[in-house]
Structures are given as C-alpha cells and as structure tokens.
Structure 1
Amino acid sequence: MRELGGDRLRAHAAEALTRARRRSTALTDAVDDEDLVRQHSKLMSPLVWDLAHIGSQEELWLVRDVGGREPLRPDIDDLYDAFRHPRADRPSLPLLGPSEARAYVAQVRDKALDVLAREPMEGRRLTEAAFAFGMITQHEQQHDETMLATHQLRQGEAVLHAPPAPSRRAGALPAEVFVPAGPFVMGTSVEPWALDNERPAHEVHVDAFHLDTTPVTNGAYLEFLESGGYDERRWWSEAGWEYRTAHDITAPRFWYRESGGWWRIRFGVREPVPADEPVVHVSFYEAQAYAAWAGKRLPTEAEWEKAARFDPATGQSRRYPWGNEEPTAEHANLGQRHLGPAAVGAYPAGASALGVHQLIGDVWEWTSTDFHGYPGFAAFPYREYSEVFFGPEYKVLRGGSFGTDPSAIRGTFRNWDYPIRRQIFSGFRCARDAQVRG
C-alpha cells in the first residue's frame, strides 16, 4: 500500500471502504429492526446508533471536508457526536430508524466514492496517500468490532455464524521467549494510514526480559481460578480487589459453572470452555492478578512492541511480527473470519522474528502501560481521536482480536480502554524480568 499511487491508490481505498461496509451490513442485517434499536447493555449503543454514526463521520470527513460538498444531514451532527451523548443515554435520543439509517449511510457512501474518484490524493495531509479514506475505513471497522461485541452481549439465539477457528499447527512451543536488551524503533513515521497516537517513530531502550510465547490459555487461567485466585487478596492490586469485590467477579465474563465443569456463552451458543484457546473477556485487573499468581507481570507496551516488531538479524522494526507483507489467513486470526480465538500455535507463519506467536489477532492483549502520546506527538486530524484520552485512567491494549479487520491493525497500532472493561475481546500474555548475572 505504501507504494501505491494514482488509480491503484483510489482502487485500494475504495475496496477497503467497501469491505468495511459489507461487514457493517452483515452485522446489522443479522437482526430484525426491533433488535437494532434495542440497547443490549448500558455499556453499548443500540446497533442502529453505530450504523448512523459511521455514516455521520464519513459525511463530516470525506463528503464535507475532503470533498467540499454540501452537508447532507447537518441536523443530525449532534445526535451522532460520541462526546456529547454517553452510550447509556443514546436510546432516548431521536435517532434515525433502521430504514432511514440505512438510506443515509448509502447516500453518504455514494458521495464519498465520488469524492474519492474526483479529488486529488495529494496537496493536503488529509488526502496524501488517501489518509482520510483510510481513517474512515478504520473508524468503520472499529465500530464493526464494537457492534460485534454488542452481538456477544445480546440475549437470544445465535444469529452470527462462521467456520471454527483452526486448531494447533505448530509443534511443541517453549513457554517463553527471551527478548534481549537494547534499543529498537517504536512507532512509525512512514505508515500511510497510521493514526496520530502511533506517531512519530522514536528509539526506545528495553531491558532484557522473557515473554510468554503465546497468550495465556483458558486452561492455564482455569488453574488460577480453581486455586482460589479470585478469592485471595494478595494477587490483586488495591484497585483490582476493590473492583472484583464490588462487582462479585468470580470468573471471566460469559463463563459459568455447570455439572462440575466450566462453560461459556459465545454469540448465543453455549459450549464447554476450550482449554487450548486464549482466555478472552478478562479485565486488566484480572490479567494483572493472574500474572502475580504466576510469579510474572504484564508486559509494558514497549516490551510488547519490541517482541512483535524487532528483527535481531537486521536491527530493524517490521510492520508486522512476520515481516512487512499484509496479513493473510495464514498469518493471523483477523476480520471476523471466525467467531472466537484460535487455539494457541494455530498460526506459526505469523510468529515474530524472536519466535513469539499470535501477537496479531485472536485477542487484544493488556499491557501495564498507561495511554499517553509518544515524544513529539501531534494530534491529527482532531484531538478527540486519542489525545483527550491520555492519562492514567486508560491502559493500552495491543495486537487486535479475531474481530479486528486487517485494515485496522498493524505492529504499531494502539488500543486503549478502562482497566475494568471485560465486554471487549481482551486477553493477555505475561512477562518477567531476565535474570542479570554479575
């Protein structure tokens, strides 16, 4: 993509937009109109809000800003401003109904594609390398993953279907990988569609450490649970223990015990918890407690990125763990191709140069780092994308999940959320300091 220009760049951007819209359509067409307008959780918007919000942002940035066209629906700008209305309040707003929302987003898309065909992809930072179109593609795909999380929260029979994720393909894997001390280049200044918080590239020194080869599995997490990990104060931070006790949390979200075993609800399907998949739907606090129980810790964001991107043979940072080529089905579990994480060891082709597996896809991975800007950070094109979230309230997650589209993930991509969040597709892996010999 970095080498594309002219018509090929426009075709690439158009295909990315179209793929995102196919997914939005599939997620909203899977349920009836009554389901679309219902709020399935106070944590989430009604699906119909997400759909119209996708169109509103596309109109603001592509139709009005890049294209300079007349506004289509200026009267709804306020309704779909995510900063004006908390999610819990959105069902009470005079939102567009399902048919009206669908007509609106279709009209916006027609105009956006016309802008893409006519406007020069140069001369403005917003249009260089079709950045604005990439930003809107990623925005839509991010909301698609949010809508997928809403589907996980909805009650009723399964409405989403996909083939099962692959089983283990790699041979026996070591429990940990050693990451040597030294500097590496973190972030990017050259990735065309990278967002502001990924920039600029800068050198970071990381001390030597060990990192789990794969994400922590359900089976390993179950050992923590069955050993009384949720009941022992010593494993939990003060904030984590307060959160756990206040909400009576005793297992990952969507798990329940039945007939002496552990089961889970996954998109309306009840099934035994599979031991070999990465654990998912755990908060930062749960991940932190497990790591303490295991005698380890969560990795810092810099440690995670070095393990994912650093190639000791060249001293360079890769775009992805496996190299610079775009993700394929052989590299990672992405794009809602499956409706859950794959077994650990399922993607040997996606391993990093240091031998760490499944850093991209499957589950978002909690790190111990607070969300902040890199040295030299500059908000673009608006502060509300990431800068307003900087601070100790949010923890960084890395790597994407099975519900993340390839257009919305790379080795430098940064996600963030409150440490209490469990409805997201979040898991983790552990790290530990390397022993220093005198």
Structure 2
Amino acid sequence: MKTHILTGKPVLTSLKPLDLSTCTKQDILDYFENSYDLHETLFTSLNDDNVFYMCPDRLRLPLIFYFAHTAVVYVNKLMLARLLKERVNIEFETMFETGVDEMSWDDTENYRMGGSYKWPSIQTVVEYRQQVRNIIKNIIQETPLQLPITMDSPWWAMVMGFEHDRIHLETSSVLIRQLPVDMVTKPDGWVYGPMKHDQGVKENPIIQMEATDVTLGKPENFPSYGWDNEYGLFDCHVPRFESSKYPITNRWFLEFVKDGGYNKRELWTEDGWQWKEFKQAKHPSFWVCDKGCKGNCGASLSDYSHCQPSNNNNDFHNKNKQGVSGYWYRAMFDELELPMDWPVEVTYHEAKAYCAWKGPEFRLPAEAERHVMRGTKKTETESTSCDIIYQDTIPANLNMQYGSSTPVNLYPANDAGFCDVYGNVWEWHEDHFNGFNGFHTHHLYDDFSSPCFDGKHYMILGGSWISTGDLASRFARYAFRPHFIQHLGFRVVRNTDNSEQANLPIRVISNDTFVLGLGETKSNINFDTTEVELMAVPSTNYHYVYESDVSLFGILQLEFGFRESMPRVLAEYNSMLTKLFDIVPGSCAVFGSGAGQLAFLLSRNYDTVLGVEICARFVDASIKLQTDQSLSLPDPYNQNQTFTLDSDVKTKNIVFKQLTWIPNEISPNDLVLMTHLHRVQNPQAWLLRLWEITKSTGLAVIASIDNKWTPKELTPILSDKLQLVRCDEIEFETDKSRLTATVTAWKHH
C-alpha cells in the first residue's frame, strides 16, 4: 500500500451516517475522519505516483484531480457557509473545483487530460489534504453545535462535504477499476465477495406485483443529510406489473452476447447503436476477452484494453481460452473467472438492448415500480431507524461489507420476494432524472442536480457494494447519462394489466433543451409514444423551461428595442457610480448578461468584460451578436426582426460564458453587476460569493428588476463582507410601460 499519501490511517470499513437530531461533536469528527480516510485508502492501491496522472476514462480527468477534489469542495462549501474565514490555496480551490459530466460518448478529451495541463506534485496535494484535515477538525471542535442540524444551519455545509467525499469514493473506484491491472494492488484487508452461494442461481423467477399507489420523496425535516433532488413529493399510481426476482447476472447476459446481441441492430435504440458502433463494443466493459477490444482509457493509456490478445507468454489469457464462458472479469484490482452469479454491469444502452432481446414487452423498471419492489418499509416517523443504512446489520451488499459484487442470492429476498433491491450494483431505470413536486435547490450547492434535469440523464437507484452514507440511503436518487460506466446493472420488468398498459408510471421530461454548441436537443424517450402513454412532465430546472425561442425574442426586444432599455439606463447609472466612487475601469463582470447588450455597452469603458448567463440560448445569441454585429429572428407574427449593436462597442473586450454558479475561476473585478436574481432558482446562491469576486477597491451593483431584492433582503446575506453605499430606483422602458428597478451598490468594509 502506498501509505505515503495518507493523512490519517488506512480504513476499509464505513460508519453509519450521522443522525442530525442527536449527533455529538465526537460523532461528527469520527464520521469526517472515516469519510476522509476511506477516500485516501482507496488511492493507496495505485502502484506508483505516476498512476495519479493517468486517465482511466478518456472522458474524465486524471486521477490526481479526484484525489484533490474532495478536499477542495470542503473548503469551497465551508467558505460559503462562513465556517471558514480564509482560503487554504486559491490555486488548488480553482484547479480542482469542478469535474466533468460529458455530454456524449464521443466527446473529445478535456485538454487537462492530454498532458498540456501542469498538475501539481503528489506531495503538494498530500500536504494540502493534511492542511484541510486539520482545519476541518479544528472547525468541528471550536464551532458551537446546535441540534438538530438543518438545511439552514452552517453545519449543513460540513455534512455536505462528508457525503460529497463518499460520492467520490464510489466514482473514483470505478475509474481505478478501469486502469491496467498491473498499475494497481489490492489494499490489505480488501475482501472480494464469494463467487457462488448455496447451489448457485440458474433461474430468474418473475414476480407479479399488484396495482398500488406510492408516494415518493424525503420529508424536509428528516434527520439525515439529503441532496436537493430527494425532497418534495410525488404521488403515483402503479399498475400491476411483474419483474425479475434478481438483477440480470453475468450468466444471463452471456446468453445475449453469445446470441449475437451486440450485432443485432434491431435490438438497439438509435443512440445506443451509435454508441455501440463508436465503442466497437462486443461485451460489457468489465468483461475481459482476448480479442483486443477497444478500450476506454485516455491520454497515454488510449491504446490500452483489458482485452489483450493472447500469446505464449500470457498465462492468464492462455487459461482463459480454456474457460467455459470465454470471458474473464475485471474486479477492482484483479482479473477473475467470470462470476456467473454476480450481477452484470452495463450501460443503459446495453440494458435496453437486452430487454429488447428478451421480448418486446420487456423494459427497465420505473422509479415508482422500484419502490413497490422494496416491499414493506418502516414509516419516516420512526426517524433514521426506517433507513437501511442505519441498521446495525445491513441485509444487503452495501456499505463496503465486501470489496466487490456478490451472488444475487447471497442475501435473502424481502417480503415482496425480490433480492438486491438495495446494494450489490446500482440499477438503471426508465425515468428521466427530475425533481419532485416542490423541488428547490440549496444555496450552498445550487447546481448539484438541476443541470441534469435535461431529459438525457436516467435514474439509477439502490446503491452498490461501495455505496456508503447518503448513497446507500432509501431516499437516494442519482442519475447518469446512458453511456456512463459504473457499478451499475439492471433487472427487467413487463406490464401485466393490459387495460392500463398505455399509462406507464415512467416520468419523462417533456420539454427540449438548448445546448450551447449543439442547439436545441430533444429529450431522449425510448418508447413508441403512439403505443404507450408516459408521464410527461416539464423539467423542474426552471431555466430549461424558461429559455424558449419566445423568451429569447423577448429579451432581445427588451435589451435592444427601446431607447431607454434597462441595459442602457443601467450602463449610464454605472458610469455615474464608477466616477462617484472612483472605480478603476479595468475589469467588469455582468451576471445575467441575457442577450449581451449590457456587456456590449460596458465594453466601451472597461478593458475586459465577462458576460455570465445561465441560459444557453441567450449565450448563443450573445456570441452571434459579438461575431456578426447583428442578429435576425422571427417575431411572434413570424416576421423577421433585426437587432444590431452600437457601432462603438468593443466586442473584442468581451467573453461570454454559460455558468450555473459562480466558480473560483472568476477572479475579482473592479465592477460586478448582477441583474438576474428575478429569474434564477436560488438567488442566495449567487450572492454568497459576490464579495469574493469584487476587488477590495471595487464596486458590486445589484439591479432588482422585480424590486424584491432591496437592502432589507440583501443586508443579512452580504453585510458580513460588504456594506451598502447607495440605493436608488431607476426607470427603464418596455413595450408596455415605464418600470422601475431597485439598484443597490456595495463595497468592502
């Protein structure tokens, strides 16, 4: 084990999550140390420091990023919660702040993967992790604790860090599992599950479930940590259905492979077939053959594949050729005989193809059906004891009881007759990832879930063998794009009530989304909607619904269509303010840049202007205006209208970015303007870092178009770092009348 990377002790067992109504400071400290130690212990499996700079997945970042990332998130969230007063290392807290969620299976490698990016040394990162560990221990010991810890408590940020750490324990394990096997060594004490239990599993019985009603969603006051998408409520009627008792195992998926399933176009969705052809996939990613299959690694590992051709000196593959299955299996640190009774791990595309191969009536479960399969559950009124992850003895392959999957019959069936409804591997579902009724984001992590409510992320439920903390909770809801590789399998379902067949309890997002660089993209729906009716609902990400062609035309008209438009009045007002407060016209940032007019007008006076917008359609329009000086769009009557820039704007001074939060990459500016609080999901999230992106000699200006953000509302959020220096009402022109906006100006104390 590479113990030189540890800032604590090697640990391979996980504690229960915190009960936020009863936990002590010692409980919190112990859970933090356990979370931090687990993450570091996983990385001791890397044989050499050079492996930290490898890219096991060409669509992800090098492992050094994930090793540092969790410590950085602690710092960034504790800064937002004001539990931490000063940064530890702003360079690291920028470099390691944000990972990737690749749009497609054929994305190009991130530039940081290709070696052009200078990553810091392992020793420097270890020293940083040690600093952060010491700081967090001190905060836990010195900060007054008031129970229960709720979403409004600064301690919520601390627990958020613990659970984020545990998310990356799992995601990093998937990346390490993709490395060449000779680059890793199984840590001492890491135990794989048994290959077989009892007489083995030859059949997969189908269990019928009667129609019922379910209510999904976690109570807001439940005393455990939860991510934003878990809260809210959703009531649903689930028609009669039947499902396989077990997840699909390697044994049963092997039948699909041997029957030529990967070569039968008719079994695959359109996207699935394109992915399969691009990947040249012949079997699941963690199966191993001797055919030299195309690998998934990036950068210097781009030529690597687990499926190395056999030769006289390759003892493993020579043995493999004599095996019954023709395949071996890549576990975390070793290649094993294909464990027939372990669940297969596949992408959504492969799972859908298998369902089609089984028969046209088969599909993946709905999220609501999954809750029915869980059988009798304790009520939430019984507090944390109702959640499987809080049990003293967990009857599932969860919480690192093993360092791998296990036979699907190892744990007993629940009272509904199903095995592995929790743990072993996550399972794909047909539903798009979306919030429940009443969904709202948290100000400390406004964009944790909502960017994925795009009709292109599919629900995964149940947790895996390495799921701990919130990941292993009964309330956990996560999602991935359909091409992602995870410890992730599936089971099959079919309807049995023909009278209700047209009303499947599958929630899909009804609206299309606009993606910068791609344009409008359709929600992925893999059903013939002329045959069945799904539960089509709008995205609970407000921006995906808001940013339509109509809203784009409207904002262009408001910004460019009037002599005294809001951007023109605000630009003049800020010119007055900068003179009044002697602000240097160097750098300026506009949050809520819309179609770009305010940024264009400010470019006449500022050396650099950053225009930040959430809505991709608006950023796209801004960039087109910047390039072409004008933009033509049809109005509501289908008549083209042209919007033109002023001749004296300096378009080369401007950069437009689509951002869903204020990242550390935005450096302090002489002037910061915020104009979009009336149309963001969580205004507080955009205000928390306002002080940090405004220079000590600079000015922050907030324009409240709906007049809701006055000094009374802003002062409690900003006053510890910024002081109010001016408040005015300004008038601007619209197509209906002249309106007023409240504008406040703020400077550092």
- Name the TM-score, length of structure 1 as normaliser: 0.88
* Percent identity of paired positions between Structure 1 and Structure 2: 23
In 2, Cα distance between equivalents of 1:342 and 1:406: 20
Superposed counterparts of 1:7-18, under 5 Å: 8-18=23-33
Q: Tell me, yes or no, if the aligned pair for 1:369 and 1:395 is still in contact at 8 Å.
A: yes
Distance 1:171 1:85, change over 3 A: closer
Q: Which residue of 1 aligns with 2:746?
A: none
Q: Which residue of 2 aligns with 1:302?
A: 368
Q: Which residue of 1 aligns with 2:409?
A: 345
Q: Which residue of 2 aligns with 1:196?
A: 228
* Mean Cα deviation higher: 154-163 or 288-297: 154-163
In 1, Cα distance between equivalents of 2:330 and 2:51: 19
Structure 2 unaligned regions, length at least 5 = 1-16, 103-108, 290-319, 501-749
In 1, Cα distance between equivalents of 2:26 and 2:417: 35
* Mean Cα deviation higher: 118-127 or 132-141: 118-127
Q: Which residue of 1 aligns with 2:440?
A: 378
**For 1:46, which of 52, 62, 73 is the aligned residue?**
62
User: What's the secondary structure of 2:56's corresponding residue?
Assistant: coil
Structure 1 unaligned regions, length at least 5 = none
**Displacement of 1:33:** 1.5
**Displacement of 1:97:** 1.9
Distance 1:119 1:62, change over 3 A: farther
Q: Which residue of 1 aligns with 2:191?
A: 163
* Mean Cα deviation higher: 285-294 or 231-240: 231-240
**For 1:326, which of 390, 395, 414 is the aligned residue?**
390
In 1, Cα distance between equivalents of 2:281 and 2:95: 34
Q: Which residue of 2 aligns with 1:276?
A: 341
Q: Which residue of 1 aligns with 2:38?
A: 23
Q: Which residue of 2 aligns with 1:115?
A: 139
Amino acid at match of 1:175: P
Task: Output one character per residue of 1:58-100: Cα deviation in whole Å (capped at 9) or x when no partner.
Answer: 0112355241421111233321221689873334434332111
In 2, Cα distance between equivalents of 1:254 and 1:123: 43
Q: Tell me, yes or no, if the aligned pair for 1:396 and 1:416 is still in contact at 8 Å.
A: yes
In 2, Cα distance between equivalents of 1:390 and 1:110: 37
In 2, Cα distance between equivalents of 1:356 and 1:235: 27
**Displacement of 1:364:** 1.2
1:57 matched to 2:73: yes
Superposed counterparts of 1:200-349, under 5 Å: 200-257=232-289, 258-259=320-321, 261-280=326-345, 282-295=346-359, 296-308=362-374, 310-311=376-377, 326-327=390-391, 330-348=394-412
**For 2:210, which of 180, 199, 208 is the aligned residue?**
180
In 1, Cα distance between equivalents of 2:491 and 2:154: 35
User: What's the secondary structure of 1:184's corresponding residue?
Assistant: strand
Q: Which residue of 2 aligns with 1:80?
A: 96
Task: Output one character per residue of 1:148-199: Cα deviation in whole Å (capped at 9) or x when no partner.
Answer: 1121111142412422314436998871332221211212114331110011
Distance 1:272 1:171, change over 3 A: closer
Task: Output one character per residue of 1:3-28: Cα deviation in whole Å (capped at 9) or x when no partner.
Answer: 6546x343332222211111122122
**Displacement of 1:278:** 0.5
User: What's the secondary structure of 2:94's corresponding residue?
Assistant: coil
Q: Tell me, yes or no, if the aligned pair for 2:193 and 2:404 is still in contact at 8 Å.
A: yes
**Displacement of 1:45:** 2.3
Q: Which residue of 1 aligns with 2:468?
A: 405
In 2, Cα distance between equivalents of 1:394 and 1:319: 31
User: What's the secondary structure of 1:135's corresponding residue?
Assistant: helix
Q: Tell me, yes or no, if the aligned pair for 2:388 and 2:473 is still in contact at 8 Å.
A: no
In 2, Cα distance between equivalents of 1:285 and 1:244: 8
**Displacement of 1:326:** 1.6
In 2, Cα distance between equivalents of 1:115 and 1:289: 51
Q: Which has the higher contact order (CA 8 A, sep 6+)?
A: 1
User: What's the secondary structure of 1:383's corresponding residue?
Assistant: coil
Q: Tell me, yes or no, if the aligned pair for 1:243 and 1:420 is still in contact at 8 Å.
A: yes
Distance 1:35 1:356, change over 3 A: same
**Displacement of 1:288:** 0.7
Q: Which residue of 2 aligns with 1:431?
A: 493
In 1, Cα distance between equivalents of 2:339 and 2:181: 22
Q: How many residues are paired up?
A: 431
Distance 1:242 1:64, change over 3 A: closer
* Mean Cα deviation higher: 123-132 or 231-240: 123-132
Distance 1:330 1:165, change over 3 A: farther
Q: Which residue of 1 aligns with 2:705?
A: none
Q: Which residue of 1 aligns with 2:171?
A: 146
* Mean Cα deviation higher: 91-100 or 425-434: 91-100
User: What's the secondary structure of 1:203's corresponding residue?
Assistant: strand
Q: Tell me, yes or no, if the aligned pair for 2:230 and 2:477 is still in contact at 8 Å.
A: yes
Q: Tell me, yes or no, if the aligned pair for 1:177 and 1:355 is still in contact at 8 Å.
A: yes
Q: Which residue of 1 aligns with 2:426?
A: 364
User: What's the secondary structure of 2:457's corresponding residue?
Assistant: strand
In 1, Cα distance between equivalents of 2:472 and 2:157: 16
Task: Output one character per residue of 1:117-169: Cα deviation in whole Å (capped at 9) or x when no partner.
Answer: 31334598446494323321111111111221121111142412422314436
In 2, Cα distance between equivalents of 1:115 and 1:354: 46
* Mean Cα deviation higher: 324-333 or 428-437: 324-333
- Name the TM-score, length of structure 2 as normaliser: 0.53
Distance 1:284 1:384, change over 3 A: same
Amino acid at match of 2:331: R
Distance 1:18 1:388, change over 3 A: same
Distance 1:323 1:63, change over 3 A: closer
Distance 1:397 1:256, change over 3 A: same
Q: Tell me, yes or no, if the aligned pair for 1:37 and 1:48 is still in contact at 8 Å.
A: yes
In 1, Cα distance between equivalents of 2:282 and 2:384: 36
Q: Tell me, yes or no, if the aligned pair for 2:462 and 2:476 is still in contact at 8 Å.
A: yes
In 1, Cα distance between equivalents of 2:262 and 2:101: 35
